Amino acid sequence: MANHSEHLEKYIELKDIIVRSNGRTILNIPHAIIPAHQITACIGPNGAGKTTFLKLLDGLIQPDAGTVQYSFANKTALVLHHTPMIKASTRTNISLVRDVDSTIADHDVEEVMERVGLSTLANSPAHKLSAGERQKLCLGRAILQKPNLVLLDEPTANLDPQATEQVEDIIREFNHQGSDVIFSSHQLAQVQRLAQFIIFIDQGEIKEKGAVGPFFSNPQTSAAKRYLQREFISE
């Protein structure tokens, strides 16, 4: 399988990964090579291990066994589904990343707020923002970190269609400006709009991965076939 990496410019290789929590195995990935030069979607049932997978790639959690290796000097930014806000302005909340990167200047913050459409809300209390506005704030923080890999956990969950479209535009912009993206989603229509590559996780295992088109038109595993059939019916 290692030969599959030879034609990839950027990739992440997972070997013998085990992640446990409270005595339960959350992830069990003997070997996987994940392309890291595009927008990749991580899909699967609730509780499959998608959020844990993103945290593992970010380094936020360490595996109980195994290794995660990058073929490139990675700088990741992780945006989780539920990100708390401090009781302060939008500007103050988006500026929190300056605590870990003092090179971020005031004009960088202003520029990013303009970029994600929050300039008019700069002085508004962040905890009173709408769900879509809060998500754009979190994406603004990620932009300020200048990552080359952005990891997003359900980036448009519970957002209205307009906010969803705006967040998807920001995700595309990440990719256009050289930051690759791996995001989790239950919205298969969104996955087809945004992603070029699919990782299907079920019961903590990567059951299938590959290009988006072939995955949806001809899934190779019974688990993926069941999942797609169930999700398309529910949509």
d(Cα 46, Cα 29) in Å, to the nearest integer? 18
CB atoms under 10 Å from CB of 73, counted, come to 6
Question: pLDDT confidence of 235, banded at 50, 70, 90?
Answer: low
C-alpha to C-alpha distance for 138 and 135, rounded to whole angstroms: 5
pLDDT 10s digits, 28-57: 999 999 998 899 999 999 999 999 999 999
Angle between helix axes 106-115 and 131-144 (nearest 10 degrees) is 140
For domain 2-234, give the fold. Rossmann fold (3.40.50)
178 confidence band (pLDDT: 50, 70, 90): confident
Rounded to the nearest angstrom, the gap between the alpha carbon of residue 212 and the centroid of all alpha carbons in its chain is: 16
Q: What is the pLDDT of residue 112?
A: 94
Task: Kindly list the domain boundaries of the chain, sorted by start residue.
Answer: 2-234
The yes-or-no verdict on residue 176 having pLDDT over 90 is no
Helix or strand (DSSP H, E) at 109: helix 106-115
Reading the block at residue 213, the tokens are 């088109």
Whole-model pTM?
0.92
Query: 50-86: per-residue pLDDT in tens?
Result: 999 999 999 999 999 999 999 999 999 999 977 778 9
Say yes or no to pLDDT of 2 above 50.
Answer: no
Average pLDDT of the chain, as a whole number: 91
pLDDT band at 1; cut points 50, 70, 90: very low
